[in-house]
Structure 1
Amino acid sequence: MPGMVSSPSAPVLFRAACPRCQARFELSAGSFRLAIGASPRTTFYSFTCPECGSAVRKPAGERIVELLTGGGVRTLRLHSTV
């Protein structure tokens, strides 16, 4: 689960971990993609592990969506609102 790390003059960084190589690191908002689907099962964030190069995709609950969008992560909406 990403957590935000920031200071008044520094860019927003998110803490993340790779499930494949177990590395822990900080990534900028530009390193993440957030997809918001019609259900919790289709809402996720993704990034590439800087250590092993694995594509990582993890579910994103409401709190994660709030943190990532608030930190400037690009968002793709997979459903339309009526």
Structure 2
Amino acid sequence: MQVPTAQSVLFKAMCPDCRGRFELAAPALRLAIGRTARTTFYSFTCPDCGAAVRKPAGQRIVALLTNGGVRTMRLHVG
């Protein structure tokens, strides 16, 4: 059985600026987990237009991204 690597997992994404639809490998995405749903999001750079994209991430998205090898940062407030 072959274990998927971060490079082999692809995530479907869409850019709200140019409306481009594409697939991104885990290294192209970043996940930030905050204390609330409002401060939990994922981000990427659109490969079509170069826009910085930031989208909210609910529990299901967080689970999919972390299991797929996306880099995760926990946001802490002192």
Assess same fold via TM > 0.5.
yes
SS in 2 for 1:75: strand
Instruction: Indicate the SS of the match to 1:76.
Output: strand
- TM-score norm. by structure 2 comes to 0.88
Measure the CA separation in 2 of the matches of 1:11 and 1:60.
22
Alignment partner of 1:38 is 2:35:
yes
Partner of 2:61: 64
Distance 2:76 2:67 in 1: 20
Q: Compute the displacement of 1:79 (Å).
A: 2.3
In 1, Cα distance between the equivalents of 2:75 and 2:63?
17
Could you say which structure has the greater relative contact order, defined with CA pairs below 8 angstroms and 6 or more residues apart?
2
What residue ranges of structure 1 are gaps of 5+ in the alignment? 1-7
Aligned residues: 73
Find the residue that maps to 2:63 and give its secondary structure.
helix
Could you tell me which runs of 5 or more consecutive residues in structure 2 were left unpaired when the two chains were aligned.
none
Match of 2:24 in 1: 27
Determine helix, strand or coil for the equivalent of 1:11: coil
Distance apart, 1:11 and its partner CA: 0.4
One-letter amino acid of the counterpart of residue 30, structure 1: P
SS of equivalent to 1:30: helix
- Counterpart CA distance in 2 for 1:21 and 1:70 is 28
For residue 55 of structure 1, what is the aligned residue in structure 2? 52
Q: TM-score, normalised by structure 1?
A: 0.84
Q: Give every structure 1 segment of 4 or more consecutive aligned residues whose post-TM-superposition deviation is greater than 2 Å.
A: none
